[in-house]
């Protein structure tokens, strides 16, 4: 009857001795990954530390806004060109020039799978792809693939994308500064214009927009984001269209908008048409009274959000001079560029002949 007690006592003594010799329970292995939910609703396991990033689509734009473009080791051929029409590519052109080419970029974008396979990236950020494409890339390359998406500067998915990048890349503080600034500009534009009576608003038209290629005066848009942001009376909204559209010039003559904004990059097409269709232009009130202005194109490899915001402020100062009387446009534009791109940018637009200002059709 005493043996079990002796056995138990011996076991306890042995455990005590072992503990005294420093034997410890096995520790949990340090965490090396975490899970996030991307903009397509996918759960992705990503490394705790991300140093080497590959980007597909126009993801480098969002990483620029999020303050971590320096981590990119692979981007598209288009972005490596550093065109001024894509400010994020222009301000990063020296760094992007040293990055590997992983896709062609732009419409008809082709991914270079062989280049992707040898880059040893910690993570791939892919902009605008569907879940099947994202899952396929992740399975084939055995690298975490995070889907990003952002439309207009006032849409929630833009802020969600920035915050997701900040969470993954450790730039949350920078991202929150950008988000706060953008939300502040949106609120400012809205507050200045939302109470302007409809009858007091001038009518406005934007033309020479680029979508699926360049267009002349007839290339326009309903629900044009810079106009939406300032509650402008865009005559094209009357068509019931939801976005970009080619409009009949006779309809523009009927509308005869008070103000016209044209994309300076496509003014060569407007001038070519003026040479054969001068009476149409000369009879427009905005042309006769010198109310034609440049509207810098913000769509180049998807939406350059900072340009869209600057466009909205510029249109606001022209259409509602009293509401924007205290706004110095150049200072406001550079404020936006510095927050989102890290540098001034108006001089780049001016040097390339696409800055803001009055335009003369036919000159």
CATH number at residue 205: 3.40.50.1980
Q: 40 and 134 in contact (C-beta within 8 Å)?
A: yes
- Give the integer Cα–Cα distance in Å for 359 and 363: 9
d(CA 134, CA 57): 12
The answer on 159 and 212 residing in a single domain is no
Domain total of the chain: 2
User: In this predicted structure, what is the pLDDT of residue 212?
Assistant: 85
> Is residue 6, in this structure, part of any structural domain at all?
no
Structure tokens belonging to residue 208: 């020479």
Q: Which domain holds residue 206?
A: 183-351
Selection from 97, 105, 95 nearest residue 70 by Cα: 95
The answer to the question of residue 55 being in a domain is: yes
289 is a domain residue: yes
pLDDT for residue 154: 85
43 and 139: one domain?
yes
Q: Is the same domain home to 240 and 281?
A: yes
SS3 (DSSP) at 289: coil
Q: Are strands 292-294 and 43-47 parallel, antiparallel or unpaired?
A: unpaired
Q: Are residues 82 and 213 in the same domain?
A: no
List, for the chain, all residue ranges whose pLDDT scores fall below the cut of 50.
1-23, 25
pLDDT at residue 266, rounded to an integer: 96
pLDDT at position 4 is 40
264 is a domain residue: yes
Indicate whether 10 belongs to any domain: no
Helix (H) or strand (E) holding 221, with range, is strand 219-221
Q: Return d(Cα 193, Cα 180) in angstroms, integer.
A: 20
Give the separation between CA 355 and CA 297, rounded to whole angstroms: 10
Tell me: do 198 and 342 sit in the same domain: yes
- Give every CB contact of residue 244 below 8 A, 6+ residues apart in sequence: 209, 211, 219, 220, 221
204 closest CA partner among 262, 283, 152, 156 = 262
pLDDT digits (tens, 9 = 90+) for 329-360: 999 999 999 999 999 999 999 999 999 999 99
Q: Which two tokens stand for residue 135?
A: 């899952």
What is the model's pLDDT at position 108? Answer: 85
Cα separation, 261 vs 227, in Å, equals 11
Question: Going by C-beta distance under 8 Å and a sequence separation of 6 or more, which residues neighbour residue 212?
Answer: 107
Query: Position of tokens 């490596």?
Result: 80
Look at residue 319 and tell me if it is in a domain.
Answer: yes
Q: Provide the CA 280 distance to its chain's centre, in angstroms.
A: 36
Tell me phi and psi for residue 51, to 5 degrees: -115, -25
Residues 151, 215 within the same domain: no
Name beta bridge partners: 207.
262
Where are the alpha helices (H) located in the chain, listed in sequence order? 3-20, 59-65, 77-80, 87-91, 93-97, 113-117, 131-141, 156-169, 172-193, 225-229, 249-255, 267-282, 285-288, 305-319, 329-341, 346-351
Residues 252, 148: one domain?
no
H helix and E strand count, the chain: 16, 13
The answer as to whether 17 is a domain residue is no
Is residue 155 located within the same domain as residue 275? no
Alpha helices in 21-119 (DSSP H): 59-65, 77-80, 87-91, 93-97, 113-117
- Note whether 297 and 203 are same-domain residues: yes
Pairing of strands 233-234, 244-246: unpaired
Nearest to 261 by CA among 228, 223, 287, 230: 287
Q: Are 311 and 227 in contact (CB under 8 A)?
A: no
């Amino acid at each position: 009857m005493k043996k079990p007690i002796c056995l138990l006592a011996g076991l306890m003594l042995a455990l005590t001795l072992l503990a005294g010799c420093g034997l410890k329970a096995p520790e949990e292995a340090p965490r090396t990954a975490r899970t996030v939910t991307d903009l397509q609703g996918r759960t992705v396991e990503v490394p705790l530390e991300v140093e080497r990033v590959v980007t597909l689509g126009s993801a480098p734009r969002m990483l620029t806004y999020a303050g971590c473009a320096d981590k990119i080791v692979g981007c598209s051929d288009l972005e490596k060109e550093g065109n001024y029409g894509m400010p994020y590519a222009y301000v990063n052109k020296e760094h992007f020039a040293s990055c590997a080419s992983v896709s062609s970029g732009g419409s008809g974008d082709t991914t270079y799978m062989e280049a992707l396979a040898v880059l040893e990236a910690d993570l791939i950020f892919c902009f605008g792809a569907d879940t099947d494409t994202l899952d396929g890339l992740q399975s084939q390359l055995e690298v975490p693939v995070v889907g990003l998406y952002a439309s207009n500067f006032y849409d929630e998915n833009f802020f969600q994308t920035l915050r997701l990048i900040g969470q993954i890349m450790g730039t949350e503080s920078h991202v929150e500064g950008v988000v706060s600034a953008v939300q502040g500009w949106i609120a400012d534009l809205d507050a200045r214009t939302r109470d302007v009576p409809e009858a007091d608003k001038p009518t406005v038209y934007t033309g020479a927009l680029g979508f699926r290629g360049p267009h002349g005066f007839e290339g326009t848009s309903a629900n044009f984001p810079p106009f939406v942001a300032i509650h402008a009376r865009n005559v094209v909204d009357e068509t019931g269209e939801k976005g970009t559209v080619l409009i009949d010039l006779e309809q523009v003559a009927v509308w005869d908008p008070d103000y016209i904004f044209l994309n300076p990059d496509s003014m060569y097409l407007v001038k070519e048409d003026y040479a054969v269709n001068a009476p149409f232009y000369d009879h427009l009130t905005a042309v006769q009274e010198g109310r034609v202005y440049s509207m810098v194109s913000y769509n180049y490899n998807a939406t350059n959000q900072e340009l869209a915001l600057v466009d909205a402020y510029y249109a606001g100062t022209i259409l509602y001079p009293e509401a924007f009387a205290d706004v110095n446009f150049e200072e406001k534009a550079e404020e936006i560029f510095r927050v989102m791109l890290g540098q001034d940018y108006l001089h780049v637009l001016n040097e390339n002949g696409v800055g803001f200002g009055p335009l003369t059709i036919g000159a």
